[in-house]
Structure 1
Amino acid sequence: MTPAALADLVRSTAVDVLASRGLDSGVLPAEVTVERPRNPEHGDYATNLALQVSKKLGVNPRDFAGWLAEALTKQTGVAAVDVAGPGFLNLRLDADAQGAIVREALAQGAGYGHNTLLAGKKINLEFVSANPTGPVHLGGTRWAAVGDALGRVLEAEGGEVTREYYFNDAGAQIDRFVRSLVAAAKGEPAPEDGYAGGYINDIAAEVVKAEPSVLSLPEAERDETFRRVGVNLMFDEIKQTLHDFGTDFDVYFHENSLHESGAVDRAVERLKASGDLYEQDGAWWIRSKDFGDDKDRVVIKSDGAPAYIAGDIAYFKDKRDRGFDLCIYMLGADHHGYIGRLKAAAAALGDDPDTVEVLIGQMVNLVSDGKPVRMSKRAGTVITLEDLVDAVGVDAARYSLIRSSVDSAVDIDLDLLRKTTAENPVYYVQYAHARVSSVLRNAADLKIDLGEVADADLGLLTLDKEGALIRTLGEFPKVVASAAELREPHRVARYLEELAGAFHKYYDDKDPLAKVLPKGDEEVSARAVPQLHLLRATRQVLRNGLALLGVSAPERM
């Protein structure tokens, strides 16, 4: 019996109990919450339904819990029900009833854990969006991992996700980049406000190679050539680096296109016409404070040039015009002010502010030998995506960045991620998958006929650690749904560590009944087939979870 099926059983039983006593079942929630208790000695599952509704019914919660316990113990698959505390219900299931989780995981295969929470919702997910003035730094690397994983999780819940990279090819940072390239090509030091690092010299040399006469051109033409060729070279490198990291985008949106197409001007004129822009000190301001922002913002500066928010307003409108129901922005730690201003922009355009969600990611620090790592081989003082991957590989880099909430800063211990021990979380999870795969290969070599899982006697899986492993498998759909709803893919990583732990504890159990495969001339035990189905389900869920993180599931390690 899956947790969802058990929740339905508890609710339907409660309906019958209340009806038999002439009480109103309309007070029951549409969905009953059934959870695994922290202490497994309290039971397999627990529910606080009696506490939730007893006041509305006008009955003592322990009395209602007792009526419900008596009725539930008569249901097929329920082994025992106890009333605890002020009215909690602790439930134990028959081993065969719990086997339904194994059957469901194997029947659904790669789709196990997926659902329809976001079915029909068109989501624009914008992340990384690093300026094309240098390699992707650690903050952008965190978003490359987390953003891609979040996209996968949202899709697993039925969302139609477009991954978008906002290409900042307009503004002062591009001018500084161009000046830096010109200086490098001329063999001069980088400008005081420019960019330094080996990558600048490399790109400057590539520009000169592509356009040999570039340095002899008139200044304006020279700078435009460095801009056109250099920015494209840098951005091509960024895209390739992200692709090698397992992160690809559906749309690369050019900021400059908003200005060239007149989209910014049209958005500004619309807000002027609605009265949401006002003129002061020669500049135009949006009344963002009226829509919940902490202050009004300059949209058109006194010199007539658009401020950055002007492009943000036009960009949001463009996303909505493309039919997106939800626009998620994943921004760095220094962008807290964008939450209010983007929601205010949506409201000023007559839209629902809740169509905007802004996720703020905190800093990432690399540590080696107990000391911070600050120097990059190629980018000067900025640690890059490539530096992290060179140090620990793609899988460890992605997993370590995803497994912590983005609300908190994270220290990445390079020495830990190089270890092949249980201390290393990505190794611990991947090793569980490889270990299960090894057992299943050996079973195939022994020509053990597994038959169909529907015919297997899963009621033989009576060990406590087998039950714990099965119930952990049953939590996966709920974990994925929570990760999608809360925009927290780290929940999947933490769940995988729990699942890997449940498997390792079971497989390392010294109880003779925990042994799966025969040795030498031993006969295949009656328990072997259901055990192997349990391991197949475990492998499937590990594989599904790692796929949501964009991390490989190795067959051998």
Structure 2
Amino acid sequence: MTPAELADVVLSAAHAVFSERGLDRSALPETTAVERPRNPDHGDYASTLALQLSKKVGVPPRELAAGLAEQLGRAPGIKSVEIAGPGFLNIRLDAAAAGQLARVIVEAGDGYGRSDRLAGEKINLEFVSANPTGPVHIGGVRWAAVGDALSRLLRATGADVGTEYYFNDAGSQIDRFARSLLAAAKGEPAPEDGYGGAYIAEIAEAVRGIRPDVLELTDDAAQEVFRVEGVALMFAEIKSSLQAFGVEFDTYFNEKDLHDRGELDLALNRLREQGHLYESEGATWLRTTDFGDDKDRVLRKSNGEWTYFAADCAYYLDKRERGFERVVIMLGADHHGYIGRMKAMAACFGDDPERNLEILIGQLVNLVRDGAPVRMSKRAGTVVTLEDLVDAIGVDASRYALARYSSDSPIDIDVELWTRATRDNPVYYVQYVAARTAGVARNAAEVGLTRGAADDFQPELLSHDKENELLKALAEFPAVVATAAELREPHRVARYLEESVAASYHRFYDNCRVLPQGDEEVTDLHRARLWLNDATRTVIANGLRLLGVSAPERM
């Protein structure tokens, strides 16, 4: 019996009690939930439904709890129900009902943990969006790992998700990039406001390979060649490095298209129709202070040039016009100031900024070696890049380490820790369970132990305390996935895999032999434990997949 199934049984019992006592059934919720008690001695699951309903129907909570307990005691699969405190229900399942979960998980396979909790939501998820003026730095890598994991979680809970990379190929930073490439091609120092690092010389040389005549052109013409070709080469490198990291986007959106297609004018007109534009000192302003911003924002300067914020407005409108009901934007630690203006901008378009726009801010990441921060990339010159991180600890460890912590907390990634083949390395600890469960299955086949037909499975044999503990840990997975998706917190999956599944499996493995030893005959208990072993493998693999991390069969 899964927690969701037990919650349905509790709700059915409540309906029965309300009918018997003539209570107002409209007070009953459409759904309820059960939780694992902090103290296992209190039972397998707990319900607070009696406490929630007592005031609504004018019945003392313990009296209502007593009626629920009596009804639940008649339900198949429930061993006992106890009333605690002011009206808590502590529920124990019988071994057969608890053990049945192993078969449910194995038969569900990749589908275990998926739900329709967010079905009907159409979400645009934008993350990374690094300027194409250099390799992806470690801050952007954090959003690559977290954003990709979040997209997987949202899809696993039924949302219609479109992932997007906003390609900033317009503006002054691109001009500085082009000037830097031209200077490198000429063998000159980088401009004072330009970009340094070996990658600039590499790209300049690649552009010269494409256009051997580029230095024969005027500086303005040569700079345009370096702008067009250099940006294309840099973005191809960014895209390739992200793909190697396991991150691909549904849409790569060019900022330049907003200008070329007239979408900035469209956004301006839409905001004017809403009555939130005004002219002052020759510039066009958006009155964002009407919606809580600290100052109004210029959209078009007095010289006719568009501001970056005008492009932000046009891009947001473009997403909404494409049918996305919720726009989620993941920004770096230095973008806190964007929240107020972006929320106000959504309100100026007539949207609900709390419903239609969501902005997530990620904190800083440091790569640490020998106790000291790694501060410089050999190639990029000033930053630690995606390639530096992967070279140091690998793709799996990088993705797991970046997704393991709440994104609003700064983190240090210790190279020694994350490359260690020991249990204190979190990704190794979890992947070791993936490999061990696969190894148990291989060894079982070698000695002729198979799970057998599902109808022959005897779940009541899984009665050991450590078996029950592991079953309860596996049962939590769907709720963990749903909560992580709703709260935008992939780290919940990583911590669950470590602290609940991996920890419980190790205790199960140490106390409950799955394989027969020596000349021992294969028994139904061995088969039942193999079901539980394989269910654990399923949950570990499904959880790691949500984080974009592999579940190895051997280590």
Output the TM-score relative to the length of structure 2: 0.97
In the TM superposition, what are the counterparts of 1:346-365 in structure 2 within 5 Å?
346-353=346-353, 354-365=355-366
**What pairs up with 1:409-448 in 2 under 5 angstroms?**
409-448=410-449
Paired position in structure 2 for 1:384: 385
The residue aligned with 1:77 is 77
- Report whether the alignment pairs 1:554 with 2:541: no
The partner residue of 1:529 within 527, 530, 540 is: 527
| CA shift digits 1:154-174 (9 cap, x unpaired) | 111112211111000011111
Q: Is the Cα–Cα contact under 8 Å of residues 274 and 350 in structure 2 kept in the other structure?
A: no
Aligned partners of 1:79 and 1:259: how far apart in 2? 67
The Cα of 1:264 is off from its aligned counterpart by: 0.5
**Matched residue, 2:241:** 241
* 8 Å contact from structure 2 (residues 3, 33) kept in 1: no
Separation (CA, whole Å) in 1 of partners of 2:9 and 2:121: 30
Looking at structure 1, the residues matched to 233 and 77 of structure 2 have their Cα atoms a distance apart, in angstroms, of 63
**Cα distance, 1:292 vs structure 2:** 3.1
Shift of 1:346: 2.3
Alignment check: 8 A CA contact 2:450 2:530 kept: no
C-alpha distance in structure 2 between counterparts of 1:296 and 1:191, whole Å:
33
How big is the shift at 1:344? 2.2
Over residues 165-223 of structure 1, what are the superposed CA-to-partner deviations in whole Å (9 max), with x where a residue is unaligned? 10000111111111111111111111111111111111111111211121120111100
Contact 1:185 1:205 in 2 (8 A): yes
Contact 1:453 1:533 in 2 (8 A): no
Query: 3-state DSSP class of the match of 1:419?
Result: coil
Instruction: Provide the residue aligned with 1:543 in structure 2.
Output: 541
Deviations 1:346-383 (A, max 9, x none): 22222332211111111111111111111112111201
In the other structure, the counterpart of 1:57 is: 57
Match of 1:517 in 2: 515
User: Does 2:186 align with 1:186?
Assistant: yes
Q: Secondary structure, in 3 states, of the residue corresponding to 1:334?
A: helix
Structure 1 residue 397, shift from structure 2 partner: 0.1
In structure 2, the partner of 1:493 is 494
The one-letter amino acid of 2:345's match is: A
Residue identity in the other structure for 2:110: A
CA distance in 1, matches of 2:370, 2:42: 44
Is residue 31 of structure 1 aligned with residue 38 of structure 2? Answer: no
Q: Which amino acid aligns with 1:442?
A: N
Q: How do 1:464-483 and structure 2 match up within 5 A?
A: 464-483=465-484
What CA deviation, in whole Å up to 9, does each residue of 1:85-140 have, x standing for no partner? 11111111001001232122122110111111222332211110000000000110
How much does 1:287 deviate? 1.2
| Alignment pair present for 1:165 and 2:165 | yes
Partner of 1:126: 126
C-alpha RMSD of the superposition: 1.3
CA distance in 1, matches of 2:274, 2:11: 51
Query: Cα deviations across residues 219-278 of structure 1 (Å, max 9, x unaligned)?
Result: 111000000111111000000000000001111110011011111022113323432111
Stretch moving more, 287-296 or 314-323: 287-296
* Partner Cα distance (1:100, 1:522) in 2: 26
Encode CA deviations 1:12-70: one digit per residue, 9 max, x unaligned. Answer: 11121222222223222221120001111111001111111111222221222222222
Structure-to-structure mapping, 1:316-355, within 5 angstroms:
316-353=316-353, 354-355=355-356
SS of the residue corresponding to residue 508 of structure 1 reads helix
Q: Which stretches of structure 1, 4 residues or more, deviate above 3 A after TM superposition?
A: none
Q: Counterpart of 1:166 in 2: which secondary structure?
A: strand
- In 1, distance between residues paired with 2:114 and 2:124? 20
Q: Distance in 2 between matches of 1:78 and 1:275?
A: 62
Question: Secondary structure in 2 aligned to 1:408?
Answer: coil
Q: Distance in 2 between matches of 1:321 and 1:67?
A: 53
Query: Matched residues in 2 for 1:556 and 1:244: separation?
Result: 22
**8 Å CA contact 1:103, 1:454 repeated in 2:** no
Distance in 2 (CA, whole Å) between partners of 1:455 and 1:295 is 70
Aligned to 2:148: 148
Aligned partner of residue 252 in structure 2, secondary structure: strand
SS in 2 for 1:527: helix
Structure 1 SS opposite 2:347: helix
Q: What is the alpha-carbon distance in structure 2 between the residues aligned to residue 526 and residue 249 of structure 1?
A: 48
How many aligned residue pairs are there? 553
Contact 2:133 2:231 (8 Å CA) reproduced = yes
Query: How does the TM-score come out when normalised to structure 1?
Result: 0.97
**2:230 aligned partner:** 230
Q: Distance in 1 between matches of 2:67 and 2:265?
A: 68
Q: Secondary structure at the match of 1:411?
A: strand
Q: Distance in 1 between matches of 2:35 and 2:105?
A: 19
Deviations 1:487-514 (A, max 9, x none): 11111111111211110111012xxxx1
Once the two structures are superposed, the pairs formed by residues 60-139 of structure 1 within 5 Å of their partners are: 60-139=60-139
Q: Which runs of 5+ in 1 are unaligned?
A: none
Corresponding residue of 1:209: 209
Unaligned runs of 5+ in 2: none
In the alignment, is the contact (CA less than 8 A) between 1:44 and 1:92 conserved in 2?
yes
| In 2: Cα distance, 1:437 partner to 1:539 partner | 7
> How far 1:318 moved relative to its partner?
1.0
Q: Report the CA distance between 1:413 and its aligned residue.
A: 1.2
**1:322, CA displacement in angstroms?**
1.4
421-430 or 266-275, larger mean C-alpha shift: 266-275
Distance 2:8 2:458 in 1: 24
Counterpart amino acid of residue 124 in structure 2: N
3-state secondary structure, aligned to 1:379: coil
Task: Quote the residue 1:460 is aligned against.
Answer: 461
State the percentage of identical aligned residues.
61
The 8 Å contact of residues 362 and 408 in structure 1, kept in 2 or not, is answered as: yes
